Amino acid sequence: MISSGERTSGMEDIMRRIDNLTIGEVTNLLKSPELLLDPASTSPSLPIPVLEALLLLRRYSSRQSPSDIARAASLILQLPNLQGDPSLRHLYFVLASHSVDVFERTSELGHLDRAVALLEDLWDEQTIQSMDNMRFMVGSLLSRSCLCHYLTSGEPKARESAVNVFHQICSSSPGLAASSNTSVLLILGDIMRHSYVTGIDFSEPFLSVSSSVLRALKIDPNGFTAFQILVVSLVYSIIHEEQGTWLNNMTLLLAAVEESKIDGSDITVLLNAVATFPSSSSKPLCLLYISYILDSQGLIMHDSSYEDDGGVFWTEESRKAVQHFRQLITHEGALVARETFQSFSLKGHLERRPILGVERYFQPESKLAHTCMFKLSMVVQKDVENAPSADISHETFFIHLEKLCNAASPDQLRDAALEAEDLDRFLDISPYLRQPEERLRLWRNSPTTKAYIMFRTNMKDRRISIEIANTLYVHLDDEPGYAHFVYQLASNLCSMDANQPRLTVASHFFLEFFRVQKRGSLMHILAMVELATTHFLLFFRERRRGQISTIAFALELFREAVAFCSELMESSDPWFVEARKVLLIARILHYRYNLFSESETSLQRTFAECNDLLDHLPIGLPFCASTLEVITINSLLFLARHTKNTLEWHKAIKYLASAIDQVANGTNHVSGMAGDEDASIIVDVVLKGGVDPANISFGSEALHILHISDVFRTIGGDCCKNPGHLRISIECYLRDLEFEPTNSLSESEKVLQNVNDLRAHSLVVKAALRSAVLSLVGGEHILNESDDSRPASTPGSFLIFKYRAGYLNDPDDNPSAIGMHATGRLLCYTPVKVSQFYLDTTGDNLNESDEAFSSTYQEDGSSSLASWPDDLLSFKDAAAYVSSADNMPSTLIPGFDQISNNEAHELFKMPLEPRTIRALVRNVDSEIRSTEKSTSFLAQNYINELRKPPLWNRNNVGLQARIEQIKNFGHNITQYGSIQALLTRGPERCLELIESARTMFWTRLLRLKTSFVCLPDDLAKAFEVVAKEIEILQANTTFTADNTWLDQSQRLFELEVTFEKMVSEARTIPGFKNFLRPKSYEMLMQASSTDGPIVILLGSNSIYAALVVQPTGVDHVFLPGVTDDVLDRLALGFNRACQSARSILQEDESVERFGKRRRKAMPDYNVLLQSIWELVVKPVFDFLSYLSHPKALDARSRLWWCPTGKFTFLPIHAAGTNFGTPNADCVSNYAVSSYIPTLSMLISARDHAPKLLVSELKVLVLAQPETPGHASLPMTLNELELVESIVPSSQLLHVNKDVPQLSASNSNRTVSETLEALPQASILHLACHGHQDSKDPLNSGFALADGRLSLGKLIACHTPDAFFAFLSACESAAGDAEVPDESLSLSVAMLYAGFRSVIGTMWMMNDNDGPEVARSVYQALFKDPSRMLDPNAIPFALDAAVRKLQESGVHPSRWATYAHIGV
């Protein structure tokens, strides 16, 4: 082991001579150190710097001057190297050890720099590499010193050195490091340091026993007990005793720790040492905290955020530990009951101390004294595991996560929050967070963990807080450790700009925090008050007068919180008196919990102390306050926010309460403060941290809190006196806020005078409080004797004032409110009346100088209040709520309407009274409706913007670009916005929104066909010219890269700009304000007809409904059986069924052509059609009374279906059940179905329908049996011949007029020939292949002999008499799955091309069915040539044809495909 014999004989002689010198002699010799050398000595002489350093060490041992150690260390560091001299090795270490001690006392980094330099020289010296104990001792002190350097300076290299050196000593000292944790190793190293510095040898047996004692304790910095610290303190006491007793005493200590038998041994040393505990625990706690930091590789630095109140519990546990240890060493063989001790952890921060000069010295310390560089405080661990465990709880997980975050730098936290790999590495720093257990893995990967780390990067960063809040969902039942984080996040959101979105998110977090609190606990009460004030701000921030349920819920919460507080206060006063006090105390508790995470015990103490303090202040009427009250509240708020030390905080409240009682009531509390050692410190805290910064300010947080409480008291009082008048009371108050006072000079001067009087008198009140506080410790108030403002020691007079609240002109621009209560950005206050009052010498009576305030501070006025009504809402309000909840589902929270009426639901298990829960349900329902209403308005605005032409880019004015824009930005907006409008704004507004959102592509075309005749002639002609040219250019859909296309694109752009300018001009003309704007509800009702209703199918988010439009108005019918999943399955089922049917139909064709028969099962359409019947059609027919009052077939009415979204893919017209049986029940039994894309299209089709006799109809029939690139369609000639046999020849149009036979004239014709004949046609029958182009709908069309007859060309073609189009082409009525609401089918496109009535197919048709359907339609249409054309004839004829197919027993896939579109 290290021995004093390492000193050379020359060093021994010098040391003996120096030890015999007086301090004066040492000081003189420092001027000439060489006088110490003996000229006659034969030993090698020591260098002069070494002699000087030895002298300085001798003087330091007496005077404890830091400068002596600093000078000695500097001298030794000037030497070239150790040169292998053992005596210098000893001197190096002694100076390094003392330098570390001096640094801990002074916090001067220079001492630590020198200590590290000396230790590094020792660490690098070759001779100690083989000396395990020496190397371990030097390394442990070097590692510890480097770590302290890092904690002080923040130098990263110091941290790296500390970690590397410690790892090296662990690997190079296996005997010491075996089965030892960091704290044990540091304590052993420090014990060895003590022996080496004092020149005493430690034997190997003693080190072995010492190591065994420390290992047996299993001490851990993350969770230690007072008994463990007691034992470590005893180890230090033993090594300061006589060396001969060390081993015996350490053996006794080991026996006590292992609870072994102790008989007849001398236990005097241990008993004496126990008596000094816990004062002797300073050094063990310091080393424990350093080991805790070292365990995290130096990343856990220090935590100055708050201090806990565990000191009280530590004192109690220390007493228990001493008692238990005495029993262990004195039991003499008797069994000692095992004792359970409370677990603690440490929080700390660097203790900054003044740097001492040469002339200032330390007092010599006792042998066990230790000046710690940290300010440490005890934290009571609540069920925290003391070692890494697979059974770790979430609370423990969060404690270790919090410790990790407390230590890390902002950059480390930011990296961990951004990258998953960095997060894993960061969490792996803590041994408690790197366990393989599944729950721990889930907690590590939880979004809340990432959010918490992001939150900790910078708590003042508003953007980060908002980002977290908007993306985070926390369920505290699963992650209870995050309760404080949730509260912090909600509080931060409320203390920002406090706009409606932030307050809404904050209220949700507060509600989640509240939900898991124990009913009646202080956290439960605090959460209730936070919820109440947040909902108060929600109501008034946006002035949402319709959300009366919000303020009702806030009042219910506040009422219940006051009731709980009254029980805790043991108060018999009515709620009106206690209400203001409750809100004030809650705000104090908010700061203590939010900023310093105080325990429930400490908060309970704060509650009681604040209650006692506020009892000294009289409670006035609403909207009145006194200067004393405002100054007191502001002082409390300042102290609550800035007093970190919990014990100082509690004492500060006590001192402030005594001062207020003395000022207000003349009570003397000086005797009660006698004997308080910390009195001067507490007085300084109260004055500098509370009274001095507290002022009268009409934007201060004190007034904001008073005002909220006054509003609650006023409105609550109104409701108690006048049940059912909540809305009236709120309305009156809101109008008062908006009242603008007169701007007269006299009024302004009066207000200014009031402000000046109150501010001047506040100085008097503050001076009185200062004097009262100072008197508690015998201080004297320092004021000039001539100063008239000097307050009397007896109770004096104070000013009270009435104030008026009003909205800020710019609520978001109030810098003074930053960091305060959120109302600071909402309201401002004005003193409207000031009066003086004083208390008489007895303190029992109040004397007023103004009768207007005669009852301001009387408490009897509130006792006459009636009790709270059972329901704060009026009967009318409640009835409206019930109606809304019963009838309206929700897209935001599907099924909430059932939840709100189900008291067995979890929602009704909240820790609230039933009446408060009912208020909560109403408020949630109201918030849902409000959000849905806002969503519908947003959707409407978005649709209006989407309808506008993109005139900023010429490449975007084409219709192709229009389709891409709708696909990219308008997807699902129709369905979602429309159902929201129905739920919140009624079916009328819903109808308007649907109409404006659908078929925006075709609407762009339809505007060009608008009649301009009512406009002024010049403007009308200009419209016609521009519209015609746009039509022609849009018809050219061929994409080329040549200049021609570019020129056309530029021209189209110019025309669109011109057209929009003319539209704006037209809207300025009287009567044309809504020209080409979306139609209003009144205009849309023109589509209603006595012929039959219009049914619009809509929905989203599993809420689906039908709008039924009739001449009497529009109604809605919910479809409860339809959900997103049901609709998806139906659409997918029909898609697959159509594909299967297509392949079977193709096989049927092969049978006819090649004579081969194949059998394959057809898909079961019946099941799909029955589902549509049950889920969609029957609820609508029940509403229309069709099922209860069926009509004969010839008396059936028309029925127009307008499906939206995925409904567009379903054959609603074919829905039914039991097809092919006598019990068949289907749509066609009750009505004749048609489809329309929009009501505007139906109105336009009716208005522009040609008035023709049947005999005047001209029919253009085109057949395309052979088309290049397509399969042959031989049956199309049969259709052509069939039409020819029914329609009079004079009414048939021949494309090739030179050929009399129609089959030759009108088959396999070109596009140009067809366009030439088309303007004469009233009816167009196309039997050919169809093609649908979803990217460019105008390029969709029909395949003719030389190309495609596109819709663009059809639209550009002038067809004045066009009425009916029969599209005998497959899937001519099928839409685009990407944009179902644009109705991009060939059939709908024909409506926009000018035809009024269209027959098409939704999927592939059978060639045999087309001619038969055509026969029925044309026979009915041309039955009576002399009558006028009847639009109803076509849908009725199609219905008859389909019924024939049904009756013939053909498969539903063949007849259900036919659909009628239009009038």
**Averaged over 1074-1082, what is the pLDDT?**
84
For helices 575-596 and 701-721, the axis angle rounded to 10 degrees is 140
Tens of pLDDT, residue by residue over 282-338, are 888 888 888 888 877 766 544 444 444 566 678 888 888 888 888 888 765 456 677
Separation of alpha carbons 502 and 494, rounded Å = 7
Global model pTM greater than 0.85 = no
Is the pLDDT at 791 greater than 50, yes or no? no
Which has the closest alpha carbon to 187: 150, 164, 217, 152? 217
- Helix, strand, coil shares of the chain, percent, nearest 5, are 60, 10, 35
pLDDT on residue 846? 43
Dist CA 1382 CA 1375 (whole Å): 8
Asked if pLDDT for residue 1150 goes beyond 70, the answer is: no
Q: What is the pLDDT of residue 196?
A: 82
- List the structure tokens of 53: 């350093």
Alpha carbon distance 140, 119 (integer Å): 10
How sure is the predictor about 466, in pLDDT bands with cuts at 50, 70 and 90? low
What residues have CB less than 8 Å from 221, skipping those under 6 apart? 182, 183, 288, 289, 291, 292, 295, 345, 346
- What is the spatial distance between Cα 982 and Cα 1106, in angstroms, rounded to a whole number? 10
Of these ranges, 180-189, 844-853, 1136-1145, the one predicted with the greatest mean pLDDT is: 180-189
3-state secondary structure of 1137: helix
The letter for the amino acid at 619 is I
As a residue count, the chain comes to 1463
Q: What is the pLDDT of residues 662-712, one digit of tens each?
A: 888 777 755 556 556 678 888 999 999 999 998 888 778 888 888 888 888
CA 647 to chain centre: 35
Q: How far is CA 1036 from CA 79, 595, 1051, 1333, in A?
A: 96, 69, 13, 14
**Strand pairing partners for 1099?**
1104
User: What pairs with residue 1331 in β-bridges?
Assistant: 1341
Residue pair 916/556 in contact (Cβ under 8 Å)? The answer is: yes
Tokens standing for 1175?
Answer: 């889920």
pLDDT band, residue 589 (cuts 50/70/90): very high
pLDDT given for residue 6 in this prediction: 45
**Segment 1085-1096, tens digit of pLDDT:** 999 888 899 999
> What per-residue confidence (pLDDT) applies to 1049?
74
992 pLDDT higher than 70 = yes
Residue with the larger pLDDT of the pair 401 and 792: 401
Question: CA 874, CA 603: separation in Å to the nearest integer?
Answer: 38
Burial of 1250-1260, coded b for 16+ CB within 10 Å and e otherwise, reads: eeeebeebbbb
Q: What is the pLDDT of residue 419?
A: 82
Q: Mean pLDDT lowest for which of 285-299, 736-750, 1132-1146, 1246-1260?
A: 1132-1146
How would you label 1215-1237 residue by residue, b for 16+ Cβ within 10 Å and e otherwise?
bbbebeeeeebbbbbbbbbbbbb
Model confidence over 1204-1249: pLDDT tens digits?
888 888 899 999 998 878 888 999 999 999 999 889 889 888 888 8
- Averaged pLDDT for residues 501-505: 79
CB burial of residue 54 (10 Å; 0-12, 13-18, 19+): buried
Average pLDDT, the chain: 78
**Cα gap 119→764, rounded to integer Å:** 61
Structural contact between residues 1144 and 1162, judged by C-beta atoms closer than 8 angstroms: yes
Question: Residues 416-422: contacts with CB within 8 Å, 24+ apart?
Answer: 416/453, 417/450, 417/453, 417/454, 417/457
- For residues 924-942, give the mean pLDDT: 75
Which of 81-85, 201-205, 539-543, 1401-1405 has the lowest average pLDDT?
81-85
pLDDT tens digit string along 330-362? 765 456 677 788 888 887 777 655 544 434 445
Average pLDDT, integer, range 1380-1408 = 79
Of residues 1346 and 798, which shows the higher confidence score?
1346
One-letter amino acid for residue 376 of the chain: L
Most trustworthy range by pLDDT among 192-206, 380-394, 1109-1123, 1124-1138: 1109-1123
**148-207: per-residue pLDDT in tens?**
888 888 788 888 899 889 888 887 765 655 556 788 888 888 888 888 887 766 566 777
Do the beta carbons of residue 138 and residue 166 sit within 8 Å? no
**Which 8-state DSSP code applies to residue 856?**
T
Question: Sign of the C-alpha dihedral, residues 1181, 1187, 1190, 1194?
Answer: positive
Q: Side chain identity at 293, as an amino acid letter?
A: I
Distance CA(135)–CA(127), nearest Å, equals: 10
1370-1395 mean pLDDT: 68
Distance CA 1044, CA 1052 (A): 12
Sheet containing 846-848, strands listed edge to edge, beginning at the edge strand earlier in sequence: 624-626, 797-807, 827-839, 846-848
Distance CA 846, CA 840 (A): 7
Q: Average pLDDT in the 525-539 region? A: 90
pLDDT at 932: 76
Most confident residue range from 170-179, 424-433, 963-972, 1429-1438: 1429-1438
214 closest CA partner among 240, 243, 234: 234
Mean pLDDT, to the nearest integer, of 24-49?
A: 78
Q: Report the percentage of the chain scoring pLDDT > 70.
A: 76
Cα distance from N-terminal residue to C-terminal residue, the chain = 110
| Confidence at residue 952, expressed as pLDDT on a 0 to 100 scale | 45
Which tokens belong to 1087? 């589509």
Higher-scoring residue by pLDDT: 1101, 94: 94
Measured CA to CA, the distance from residue 142 to residue 122 in angstroms comes to: 10
Query: In this structure, what token pair is assigned to residue 447?
Result: 């979004």
